[in-house]
């Protein structure tokens, strides 16, 4: 396999891998239906400030093996009596096609550290169950438990209590995590979250698909980050047994009634990169939200970059963080 310990895009913004060294292409499906996953470096949480951030793991559901990794800018702001100067709370769902990776994966850990300082915000990144051992909707159930933590656990967490503003919570996900954030957000409309209020959802390059190929999908046979073969394999491992890519978990635009969009928070940000195989699907999804839903939808999908480039190209990450800052701060003075 390729060396991912030091994986980084070059100065031109080229992907850090080729199709042959791509992590998804290294997933081995075993005869018993489980998979052997490629090794990716993991890093522990640390309450010793690194990159201006401290982090720690908070158990969520011991029986499912889930937890939240919290990130707090350090030095953190003073704990004011009013919430106006406190930090928003971003509940984050990582990518990996529902099959691989973790909040502790080196590039997702670094991404959340950078996000916490750049927005700034308290970031809570979810460790969720992976397919195919736990096919969808298992990851959605774990995401729902994380949303419930905003009500049941966050108010008593020392970092959130001292520095977080639970009236400004946001759900965010990237790739398969963007898919998870969408389905988690649909459930928030009827939830009593107590002191927590989900103000919006941020969907970065959300992972959707369909039986019929879009042009960007059809042209991704040799894509370095999400080649078509890997894309199809991930869906076959993640969807419920017997489901095809027009299942609602994969293709909500085709399979779901638009009335479900009433459950979304009032504001939605959809972001993506021009060279991503998912870009056509993203645009279709964003139009659906705009045309059939009631939420305010902001679309920023004109950034030059490959799938997941924000994990490896700091300049592209900063473009994403700038969009997040603008979205999260809008309405603060309302």
User: What pLDDT tens digit does each residue of the chain (334 aa) get?
Assistant: 333 333 444 434 789 889 999 999 999 999 999 999 999 999 999 998 877 999 999 999 999 999 999 999 997 655 444 455 899 999 999 999 999 999 999 999 999 999 999 999 999 999 999 999 999 999 999 999 999 999 999 999 999 999 999 999 999 999 999 999 999 999 987 789 999 999 999 999 999 999 999 999 999 999 999 999 999 999 999 999 999 999 999 999 999 999 999 999 999 999 999 999 999 999 999 999 999 999 999 999 999 999 999 999 999 999 999 999 999 998 665 4
Options 3.40.50.720, 3.40.190.10, 3.30.930.10, 3.40.50.1820; CATH of 51-75+84-329: 3.40.50.1820
**pLDDT at residue 11, rounded to an integer:** 38
Peptide bond into 65 cis (omega under 30): no
Active site residue 307: yes
Active site residue 276: yes
Q: 163, 165, 307, 309: which is the annotated catalytic residue?
A: 307
Q: Which H or E run includes 322?
A: helix 314-329
Give the closest residue to 59 by CA, choosing from 124, 130, 151, 141.
Answer: 124
Q: 175, 176, 216, 309: which is the annotated catalytic residue?
A: 175
Measure the CA–CA gap between 201 and 23, rounded to whole angstroms: 28
Q: 157, 165, 275, 276: which is the annotated catalytic residue?
A: 276
């Amino acid at each position: 396999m390729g060396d991912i310990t030091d994986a980084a895009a070059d100065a031109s913004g080229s992907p850090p891998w080729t199709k042959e060294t791509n992590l998804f292409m290294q997933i081995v499906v075993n005869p018993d239906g489980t998979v052997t996953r490629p090794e990716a470096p993991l890093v522990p949480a640390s309450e010793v400030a690194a990159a201006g951030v401290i982090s720690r793991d908070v158990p969520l559901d011991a029986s499912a093996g889930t937890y939240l990794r919290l990130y707090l800018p350090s030095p953190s702001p003073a704990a004011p009596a009013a919430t106006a100067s406190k930090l928003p709370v971003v509940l984050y769902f990582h990518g990996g096609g529902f099959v691989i990776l973790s909040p502790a994966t080196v590039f997702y850990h670094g991404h959340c550290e950078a996000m916490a300082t750049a927005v700034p915000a308290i970031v809570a990144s979810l460790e969720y169950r992976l397919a195919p051992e736990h096919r969808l909707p298992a990851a959605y159930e774990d995401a729902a438990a994380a949303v419930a933590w905003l009500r049941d656990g966050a108010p008593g967490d020392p970092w959130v209590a001292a520095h977080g503003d639970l009236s400004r919570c946001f759900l965010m996900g990237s790739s398969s995590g963007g898919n998870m954030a969408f389905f988690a957000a649909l459930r928030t409309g009827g939830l009593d979250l107590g002191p927590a209020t989900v103000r919006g959802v941020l969907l970065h390059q959300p992972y959707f698909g369909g039986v019929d190929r879009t042009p960007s999908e059809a042209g991704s046979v040799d894509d370095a980050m999400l080649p078509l073969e890997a894309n199809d394999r991930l869906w076959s491992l993640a969807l419920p047994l017997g489901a095809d890519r027009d299942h609602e978990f994969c293709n909500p635009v085709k399979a779901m009634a638009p009335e479900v969009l009433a459950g979304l928070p009032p504001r939605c940000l959809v972001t993506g990169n021009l060279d991503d195989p998912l870009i056509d699907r993203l645009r279709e999804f964003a139009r659906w939200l705009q045309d059939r839903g009631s939420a305010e939808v902001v679309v920023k999908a004109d950034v030059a970059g490959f799938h997941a480039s924000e994990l490896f190209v700091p300049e592209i990450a900063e473009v994403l963080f700038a969009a997040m800052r603008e979205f999260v701060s809008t309405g603060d003075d309302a």
